[in-house]
Structure 1
Amino acid sequence: MRVLAAMSGGVDSAVAAARAVDAGHEVVGVHLALSRAGGTLRAGSRGCCTIEDSMDARRAADRLGIPFYVWDFSERFRDDVIEDFVSEYRAGRTPNPCMRCNEKIKFAALLERAIELGFDAVCTGHYALLVDGPEGRELHRASDAAKDQSYVLGVLTAQQLAHTYFPLGSTPSKAIVRAEAAERGLTVAQKPDSHDICFIPDGDTRGWLAEKVGAETGEIIDRSGAVVGSHEGAHAFTVGQRRGLQLGVPAPDGKPRFVLEVRPVDNRVVVGPKEALATAEIAGGRHTWAGRAPAEPSFACHVQIRAHSDPVPARAEVRADEIVVTPETPFDGVAPGQTAVVYDGTRVVGQFTVDRTVSAVPVA
């Protein structure tokens, strides 16, 4: 099999490429240049896809003895990931750029080019399992629950799964991957995992958004509509946030208040008690299926609303224009723009972007 190994410059993708070589595949390494700021450098574990990452990926490819290339996907990344991130925040939603990157870049733009060049699959260092079932390939949770990345891969379609290769999915722990990298002489063996948003390496999302969206003073109100404070830009807030609220009026019960809603049209932020974050229903219209679609329009499942949250037992109903999910116990603080991934046991059924939510606590 001809395999295109996406090499980020980290330990996971390097070991994944190495395992693909060991499996006897014809492997070519590629690093995606997602920024045209050629001098961009990493700051410890912040950021990724920098010039240092490119050099680390090249050294790993040289060690493995495979061809290596750098492909410029910066324009596509800007249009499909960064601009989407900005427009979603401008609309008062909370996007997940990693989901968009997997959907639009790694398993769309990259995979399309790979197939055009005659490759059979794209290999990445993601922790997830691929199972060939009776009705096609299925996406499942990784063996290592702590490293499972099936949530951020929930956007993959059946066609994309057919050309995907995850060599690390059955690895019991990240420690084993690092030890293997060291044994292979890969210099990235102890390289820190990247975190935060890759295109905001300093971690100052609020400041970055202020430059892109602009900051305008507005009101913070409670659920009754009473003004309880002010803010310097609604884009800086997300549902469930507690810190950073400039409240001039304390709650009647003296308890802390949390962001319940962001309203970009009138530049207001709605706050209320923690109990009001309980969400009894979520729904969204933009959905995909990871393999076969559900046989029935209504079915029992588990739903995960964040990359590191626990799945919640629920019932999903597929309607003409949206998917509606009712959890057995309320979700905690779901924001429009988040991705909800639907599971059947360990198998990813599909995903949708949350458009609306219903609080489990009615307004008094």
Structure 2
Amino acid sequence: MSGGVDSAVAAARAVEAGHDVVGVHLALSRMPGTLRTGSRGCCTIEDSMDAQRAANIIGIPYYVWDFSERFKQDVVDDFVSEYSAGRTPNPCMRCNERIKFAALLEKAIALGFDAVATGHYANIVTDAGGNKQLHRAAAWAKDQSYVLGVLNTEQINHSMFPLGATPSKAEVRAEAAERGFSVASKPDSHDICFIPDGDTRGWLAERVGAEKGTILERDGSVVGTHEGAHAFTVGQRRGLSLGVPSPDGRPRFVLEVRPKDNTVVVGPKEALDIAEIAGIKISWAGLDPVQSGIVTDPSDPFECEVQIRAHADPVPAVARVVMVGESAELVVTPHVPLNGVAPGQTAVIYVGTRVLGQCTIDRTVSAVPVPAAAAH
């Protein structure tokens, strides 16, 4: 129970469905803030108190579990490490993967519980063979299956999402008001929970440090300088401070961040169009493509949809697993180019409404060829 409206209603529905429910709030910071600032951040003392009040109204036991050390190691430190390597991580994915459905679920099962129920908008469907699958929520506008794409078979088997069939968030808020929950009109949290002021660049600068470097065009020519490569992300336009205007006068965008030599590569907007992505750290949300009967051989290509951000539209694509030495890559070729893809992002693969699996984007192929001069 995060202290928000979704988890409060999910807990109440789980009780009404006949389950023996215990409310748990995760303390993810050793020094939590006292109050939220609007809808920024989460896991404050105020949030814990909101969750406590909802649990009291529902009539269930309530506990606060300290996962702050695990959260720092598996989410915050990972976030810093990924940015230091020039990648753009999604901390919500890591939190779901390593905290809510790993550390929390492990502890819950050890204590004798059967499942972890959350307020995520997603559905679990059981197929004809009795296998559980992760699917999109009924309300696509609120669907959160993307951030759950990291779940594996065992985790899906021990998960519940009571809000998955709810047609709108407005209905959840109305239900919360009817139940007397004080969080009925509480704003949704957004941004990165451990950077509540939203200043990701400043937060990273304190932890990674800032070192001046060069900004290059795709052909290798120097067009400016920067104060630290970690402050840039693929697709960024503002804050480049370029000293050399582009020949056609059009704006440039960040195309690549190279932390090893502390350089940033920029170019035209159309160069952000990506014709292919290759991902590592592949996982399947339930049965894999062979077990599901989608392909007969792991390397066979198959039609799917790929989604690269939580609120991005899914794009029709062809995916295939390719072995590179002893490691596997998930290579995805979209039917229309993806835009602004950055290494480190998560690509979630869907077949219809079903979440098939995910990978961490390791490299991309631009739809616009690199100028020949860059090869010299």
Give TM-score scaled by structure 2 length.
Answer: 0.94
Q: Does 1:193 align with 2:196?
A: no
| Alpha-carbon distance in 1 for matches of 2:330, 2:190 | 31
| Alpha-carbon distance in 2 for matches of 1:160, 1:134 | 20
Residue in structure 1 matching 2:199, options 199, 204, 207: 204
Q: Does 1:74 align with 2:74?
A: no
Match of 1:239 in 2: 234
Match of 2:308 in 1: 305
Amino acid corresponding to residue 19 of structure 1 in structure 2: R
Unaligned runs of 5+ in 2: 372-376
Q: Does 1:333 align with 2:340?
A: yes
Q: Does 1:92 align with 2:95?
A: no
Q: Deviations over 1:3-51 (max 9, x none)?
A: xxxx000000000000001111100000000001044431110000111
Q: Does 1:24 align with 2:18?
A: yes
| Alpha-carbon distance in 2 for matches of 1:21, 1:64 | 8
Q: Deviations over 1:32-73 (max 9, x none)?
A: 000010444311100001111000000000010100000000
How far residue 183 of structure 1 moved from its aligned partner, in angstroms, is 0.1
Q: How does 1:166-185 map to 2 (within 5 A)?
A: 166-185=161-180
SS at 1:85's partner residue? helix
Q: Does 1:55 align with 2:49?
A: yes
Match of 1:128 in 2: 122
Match of 2:374 in 1: none
| Alpha-carbon distance in 2 for matches of 1:306, 1:195 | 14
| Alpha-carbon distance in 2 for matches of 1:243, 1:38 | 32
Q: Does 1:165 align with 2:160?
A: yes
Q: Deviations over 1:153-207 (max 9, x none)?
A: 0000111000000000000000000000000000000000000000000000000
Q: Deviations over 1:233-261 (max 9, x none)?
A: 11010001111111011100000100000
Residue in structure 2 matching 1:319, options 322, 336, 351: 322
| Alpha-carbon distance in 2 for matches of 1:311, 1:109 | 30
| Alpha-carbon distance in 2 for matches of 1:218, 1:40 | 39
| Alpha-carbon distance in 2 for matches of 1:115, 1:126 | 20
Amino acid corresponding to residue 57 of structure 1 in structure 2: A
| Alpha-carbon distance in 2 for matches of 1:289, 1:198 | 27
Q: How does 1:104-143 map to 2 (within 5 A)?
A: 104-135=98-129, 136-143=131-138
Amino acid corresponding to residue 321 of structure 2 in structure 1: V
SS at 1:209's partner residue? helix
SS at 1:27's partner residue? coil
SS at 2:218's partner residue? coil
In 1, are the aligned partners of 2:122 and 2:143 still within 8 Å (CA)? yes
SS at 1:198's partner residue? coil
| Alpha-carbon distance in 2 for matches of 1:119, 1:339 | 30
Q: Does 1:286 align with 2:281?
A: yes
Structure 1 residues 247 and 101, CA, compared in 2 at 3 Å: closer, same or farther?
same
| Alpha-carbon distance in 1 for matches of 2:65, 2:12 | 20
SS at 1:260's partner residue? strand
Unaligned runs of 5+ in 1: 1-6
| Alpha-carbon distance in 1 for matches of 2:272, 2:201 | 22
How far residue 134 of structure 1 moved from its aligned partner, in angstroms, is 2.5
Q: Deviations over 1:87-131 (max 9, x none)?
A: 000000000000000000000000000000110110000000110
Amino acid corresponding to residue 355 of structure 1 in structure 2: D
SS at 2:22's partner residue? strand
Match of 1:3 in 2: none
| Alpha-carbon distance in 1 for matches of 2:151, 2:97 | 7
Q: Where does structure 1 differ by over 2 angstroms across 4 or more consecutive aligned residues?
A: 38-41
Give TM-score scaled by structure 1 length.
Answer: 0.97
| Alpha-carbon distance in 1 for matches of 2:251, 2:91 | 30
Worse overlay, 280-289 or 175-184: 280-289
Amino acid corresponding to residue 186 of structure 1 in structure 2: F
How far residue 319 of structure 1 moved from its aligned partner, in angstroms, is 1.7
In 1, are the aligned partners of 2:32 and 2:43 still within 8 Å (CA)? no
How far residue 318 of structure 1 moved from its aligned partner, in angstroms, is 0.8
Amino acid corresponding to residue 100 of structure 2 in structure 1: K
SS at 1:239's partner residue? coil
| Alpha-carbon distance in 2 for matches of 1:204, 1:130 | 36
Amino acid corresponding to residue 17 of structure 1 in structure 2: A
